[in-house]
Structure 1
Amino acid sequence: MDFDAVILAGGKSSRLGGVPKAQLRHGDASLLQRALAAANGAGSVVVVGPDPGTLPDGTLTARESPPFAGPAAAIEAGLLALESHAPSTEPPRENPAPWVLVMACDMPLAGAAVPVLLKELAGHPEAEGAMSVSADGRKQPLLGIYRSSALQREVLASAQQGGLANASVFRLLARLDLLAVPVPAGSTDDVDTWDDAAALGVDGGLP
């Protein structure tokens, strides 16, 4: 399946004392590195947030407007970056790709969910996307794969109704025909507090 990826790496990390989540460590990699690995197979990848430092060659960057305006605004910024990027692939492919993986960078085990989402979508080509559902039944919109054209449609509609700054991601996705896909236990667990970090084996030390 041809897809791009938008990795959300912004946010104030207020419950972590302002420590950037992207720089937290899980094993031998940062959470951002884990997210980039989870997006393996994407045609183009954009990281949305403050300066992320060194990234793999070809990785795009963007920033939500205004800064710290929330994940819905970050998704919009990521889509704009993908639309303006001309992929240098042979043979040429669609720009952006028909599907886009949207993933927050603070889920260190998200890589286990991505192939499950791709497989489910492959069996339901009429759907407009697939959203992860945790083992306890919670929907996680920041670990999903969405039809690019449908997401662009909703971003445009939101722009005509006041924009996406500090808007709900669930509201942005509300009109999409989405599959709710159970994913492996732990793959949607995120790091909002230091207790979350400890439970997931995440620490704030830099390499």
Structure 2
Amino acid sequence: MPRVAVVVVAGGSGTRFSGPGTGGTGGALAAKLTAPLGTSTVLGTLLEGLDGWSRALPAPAGVVLVGPGGVREDPPGGGPLAGFAAGLAALPGPPPPVVVLLGADQPFAASAVPRLVAALQAAPEVDAVVGVGPDGRRQPLLSAHRPAVVRRVLDGLPAVHDQPLRELFRGRVAEVAVTARECHDVDDPADLHRAARLLEG
């Protein structure tokens, strides 16, 4: 298993989760990520899953959170590509061979990470690996990348702020099946209730 880093981006405003006391869009996003889920929170469940996976590696995986409570893109609110760029820049030391990109509101995404990493490692001709859900749709916030390729993509853009994440997938991309549970994201209270049912099941 190569050295792996994980960048978790907390994108969007979280306004669909907003309510009294959330303090605007920033507060709404924080409220979404800290919403209770089982004995933890939405973000906490993801980070706990990543920690459990990392403990099985020969060297622990580094995890960088981009969003409330973590590093921030400059200016904030630039979208997931800008968040990924900020997360890469925040990684300590030389970049690892593989960097995984996840969404902070996907509490069960950690179980897909070993398959994404293994698929990228097994295909040296591939630039990136992206998860594909049961509906056949790509899940760009469930993906694994080679940092050198990502850097070339970012350097080729006039700016990363508000640029679409699909810029990362214009090269040679492999697909890996992910489950509905793994790609479930929490955008509103109904999604949180479904996550709680998934956790119980």
Question: TM-score surpassing 0.5?
Answer: yes
What is aligned with 1:28? 39
- Structure 2 residue ranges without an equivalent (≥5): 19-27, 55-59
Report the 3-state secondary structure (helix = DSSP H, G, I; strand = E; otherwise coil) of the residue aligned with 1:113. helix
Cα distance in 2 for partners of 1:4, 1:44 equals 5
56, 65, 80: which is aligned to 1:47?
65
Runs of 4+ residues over 4 Å off in structure 1: none
Q: TM-score, normalised by structure 1?
A: 0.79
Is 1:37 matched up with 2:48? yes
Structure 1 residue 155, shift from structure 2 partner: 1.2
Structure 1 residue 10, shift from structure 2 partner: 4.2
* Residues matched between the structures, number: 179
What is aligned with 2:85? 76
Structure 1 residue 198, shift from structure 2 partner: 1.6
Structure 1 residue 168, shift from structure 2 partner: 1.0
Task: Check the 8 A contact 1:3/1:101 in 2, yes or no.
Answer: yes
Q: Aligned letter for 2:75?
A: P
Q: Which has the higher helix share?
A: 2
What is aligned with 1:90? none
- Structure 1 residue ranges without an equivalent (≥5): 53-60, 87-94, 203-207
User: Identity over aligned residues, as a percent?
Assistant: 32
What are the Cα deviations for residues 100-141 of structure 1, in whole angstroms up to 9, with x where unaligned? 011111111112211221232232222112101001111111
Cα distance in 1 for partners of 2:186, 2:85 equals 23
Is 1:62 matched up with 2:58? no
Identify the range of structure 1 (100-109 vs 24-33) with the bigger mean alpha-carbon deviation: 24-33
Cα distance in 2 for partners of 1:5, 1:26 equals 22
Cα distance in 2 for partners of 1:81, 1:119 equals 24
Structure 1 residue 8, shift from structure 2 partner: 0.8
Cα distance in 1 for partners of 2:132, 2:120 equals 14
Identify the range of structure 1 (6-15 vs 118-127) with the bigger mean alpha-carbon deviation: 118-127
185, 192, 195: which is aligned to 1:197?
192
Report the 3-state secondary structure (helix = DSSP H, G, I; strand = E; otherwise coil) of the residue aligned with 1:130. strand
What is aligned with 1:139? 138
Q: Aligned letter for 1:164?
A: V
